[in-house]
Structure 1
């Protein structure tokens, strides 16, 4: 079992980055349309468009929700795909730096035989974090 780990530093305040992780309309701008509500235990879906993924929804449930406090924040939720069935965990930690925020993402729980799907997610996270999330916060 391997995991995906990505870390980027964004020239934005932690509260602004947090908003793009926890507000449905902002999540949709860089990740996917969704039914996210920032509430521990909330089950929601992400609508994965064909071409990027399977075209089927990703089913999620928030397992950790710690808003920014003392320069840190954490968010975690399950990430379940029905075809092929895959159940993983997405964890994001934000750490406030001087006028910047480090965003550490870990996508774990990949099992043997899921290498191709894991590799597609790894490429996806690279593109989403660098080419979609960062510009929204730095150029927005």
Structure 2
């Protein structure tokens, strides 16, 4: 008789696992490593979800107010770009190899000034396997 692997609900909690940052090397636009390590939260992190939800709610309120006042429903591309920057920057919670100390403002500046970085951060953050590495209990 073979023994089946058993996992607890805590083992399967991707939200909790996503709150532990992983190390992601900043890859230069030419594809080479930089030695800079970003500490990145998972997309399912409670902090990331909270900030993203707030940003979306703020956008919906703004759009509803605009529609009520003017009858227009229009979100400028600049607002979409800013949303993307903020939603990416919140996933970065630290770094090594950058002279300036980590801060939320500096993370936002890093994302705004390095457009290729957003994909790297978001790909790592969205990779559930980067955060939830299941090991069966015997």
Normalising by structure 2, report the TM-score. Answer: 0.31
Q: Which structure is higher in helix share?
A: 2
Greater RCO, CA 8 A, separation 6+ = 2
The structure that has the greater radius of gyration is: 2
Structure in which a larger fraction of residues adopt strand: 1
Using the size of structure 1 for normalisation, the TM-score is 0.31
